[in-house]
Amino acid sequence: MDTLKLSERLAPLKGKRILVTGHTGFKGSWLTLWLRELGADVVGIALDPPTSPALYDVARCGDGLVDHRQDIRDAAAVAKIFSATQPQVVLHLAAQPLVRASYTQSRETFDINVMGTVNVMEAARDTKSVVAFVHVGTDKVYENVEQARGYRESDPLGGHDPYSASKAAAEIAFQSYQRSFFNVAGRPLAASGRAGNVVGGGDWAKDRIIPDAMRALAEARPIPVRNPNSTRPWQHVLEALSGYLTLAAELVNRNKQALGSWNFGPPDDNVKCVGELVKELVAVWGSGAWQHTPEPGAVHEAKLLTLSCEKAERELGWAPRWDFRETVRRVATWYQAVQSDGDAAALCRRDILDYMNG
């Protein structure tokens, strides 16, 4: 997608009241900053930021938006916020997003990711102002048989761990609402976006390789790597968000070609093993090392998982912009700058504008 076309396609979101669930999380924080650049009127529904520090706080993401701290498992409260704010566009990101945490918080993971999603869809269904609904999924919704071919939107859904299974179940619930309640006269048009392992500045979550690596490099100790041979489609968070925003803009324009489910992944050369990722991080950082730290008896984590984005490229004209080295460079330099007292909000804005205009 060329720069002018990207700007033109996102222009329909200017001035729209856009409700983002999960706006205090990593993806949600970057999304609120991008929506601010687009001139949208943002409403957020989320719990408090899940980490300390948190991108939402250090980048002042709450400036200029309506901030509701609310658990999406409370259906009545969610409906009340929708009624009071009358959003036109909904971007549903709120989730329990961690695979390893889902093993110890299984019931909570299903409650949030499935019934929380149903609550948000019910509220959108009952709010006449809503014209576009984007459900944010994950590459882990597919029944992963460790195949080399990237998963396509038509492939079976599944999930070994509770996180993956809960997100697959949420996708099935979304498909039901799409067929039963959305995409008809007087109702929102709806789509679902699925992205892979997103990385970027400001992620401080536990048990994720980028936050683990950045903490280790900042403290001059080796990066601990559990599974150096596990392969993932690494992509900058802005790549995934550009897909979600493209869907939202197309739905606002009542483009029914944007309905359904869509994969948003990186270029083929971004599919790398964890060992290659940490080597590149060390190279960009300028110092440091990594070491294999296996965990005997550790919970199951997929070793190979990639997406096919042919449908989005062919039918939406969407394509990723940053290759593996550029992605890693953006990540490492962001954390280095913040460590040196750089302005996190300005650094995020720089990346957003470079992505839009580069």
Sketch the domain layout of the chain as residue ranges. 3-205+232-271+305-324
Tokens 């039901």 belong to residue: 176
Q: Give the pLDDT of residue 267.
A: 85
Please give the Cα distance from 174 to 36 (Å, whole number).
27
Q: Give the pLDDT of residue 1.
A: 45
Q: What single letter denotes the amino acid at residue 58?
A: V
Q: Is 60 exposed, middle or buried (0-12, 13-18, 19+ CB in 10 A)?
A: middle
Q: Cβ distance 23 to 65 under 8 Å?
A: yes
> Radius of gyration over alpha carbons of the chain, in Å?
19
User: What angle separates helix 324-339 from helix 274-285, to the nearest 10 degrees?
Assistant: 50
What φ, ψ does residue 256 adopt, rounded to 5°? -75, -10
Q: Is 256 exposed, middle or buried (0-12, 13-18, 19+ CB in 10 A)?
A: exposed
Q: Give the pLDDT of residue 183.
A: 86
Instruction: Write the CB contacts of 87 (distance below 8 Å, at least 6 apart in sequence).
Output: 17, 18, 19, 43, 127, 129, 130
Distances (CA, A) of 233 to 168, 266, 303, 308: 19, 6, 12, 10
Closest CA to 262 of 158, 162, 184, 174: 174
Please give the Cα distance from 193 to 135 (Å, whole number).
6
Q: What is the pLDDT along the chain (358 residues), one digit of tens a residue?
A: 444 478 889 999 999 999 999 999 999 999 999 999 999 999 999 999 999 999 999 999 999 999 999 999 999 999 999 999 999 999 999 999 989 899 999 999 999 999 999 999 999 999 999 999 999 999 999 999 878 789 999 999 999 999 999 999 999 999 999 999 998 888 999 999 999 889 999 999 988 899 999 999 999 999 999 889 988 889 999 999 999 999 999 999 999 999 999 999 998 888 899 999 999 999 999 999 999 998 776 665 656 788 999 999 999 999 999 999 999 999 999 999 999 999 999 999 999 999 988 6
Distances (CA, A) of 33 to 46, 91, 137, 350: 16, 14, 20, 11
Q: 3-205+232-271+305-324 adopts what CATH topology? A: Rossmann fold (3.40.50)
Q: Is 342 exposed, middle or buried (0-12, 13-18, 19+ CB in 10 A)?
A: middle
The pTM (predicted TM-score) of the whole model is 0.95
Please give the Cα distance from 110 to 172 (Å, whole number).
13
